[in-house]
Amino acid sequence: MTRNVGIYLFDEVEALDFAGPFEVFTTASRLKQRLRPDAPPAFLVFTIGDKIRGIRARAGLVLQPHFDFASHPHVDVLIIPGGIVEAERSRSEVIQWIASQADGAEITASVCTGSFLLAQAGLLEGKRATTHFEDLLDLRLGFPGIEVIPGVRWVDNGSLLTSAGISAGIEMSLHLVARLEGDDLAQRTARQMEYFPSTAAQRQRAAMRPLTGMPMDLAMQRPLLD
């Protein structure tokens, strides 16, 4: 089974918020095909904008989405990155699109301040969530119906996930690869990317194991940098 991973792009998106998950899912798919040439790809990854146009990310990086709201394929895994999201929160067409895509997706996940877009769409009401450490208080005050969790790399509610800031999106995406395709492929993906999970993520996986039974255990050694 191939899952379509759609990543939303918008003006002032944080580059690593979308590029980290993009790299994780495309690398995982490439490695699965290398290991099992006759199997279907694990993931088909594409970007989506409101329109087919040049999108200016933070720090001036110019992007071109693969699809727009009217033309993209069905999305199984929806990734909403963060960045400067105030303008996006006020755009009703964006919030309605996020809500409608989440309704049909297997998984919806945000990175960093992308959680504010999920919250604006009403998707996090009554759920646990996290975001960039600088924005935890704003998320709590702006959306009192959300249980905001500090000090974690991601929060997994099953079909809805949120991650902490920027690089945490990589770890959340590896966690999703493990959930959807198994620990072995997630481990191989992290190794191929030469990505060493943070000590916080390792502690979180260990703490979550008795509660969910789902977290990835990366069989890798981290350099002694912490």
Could you read off the pLDDT of 16-71 as tens digits, one per residue? Answer: 999 999 999 999 999 999 999 999 999 999 999 999 999 999 999 999 999 999 99
Q: How many helices (H) and strands (E) would you count in the chain?
A: 8, 11
The domain limits of the chain are: 3-212
Q: Reply yes or no on whether the pLDDT at 216 is more than 50.
A: no
Q: What is the residue-wise DSSP string for 74-86? A: --SEEEE--BS-H
**Helix, strand, coil tally for the chain in percent (to 5):** 40, 20, 40
Token readout for 58 is 């933070």
Could you read off the pLDDT of 175-202 as tens digits, one per residue? Answer: 999 999 999 999 999 999 999 876 656 5
CA dihedral defined by 204, 131, 194, 78, rounded to 10 degrees?
110
Predicted local confidence at residue 171, as pLDDT? 96
Candidates 7, 42, 45, 112; catalytic one = 112
Has 112 been annotated as catalytic? yes
Q: What SS3 class is residue 31?
A: helix
Q: Reply yes or no on whether the pLDDT at 13 is more than 80.
A: yes
The architecture CATH gives domain 3-212: 3-Layer(aba) Sandwich (3.40)
d(C-alpha 166, C-alpha 53), whole Å: 24
- pTM listed for this prediction: 0.89
d(C-alpha 48, C-alpha 60), whole Å: 19
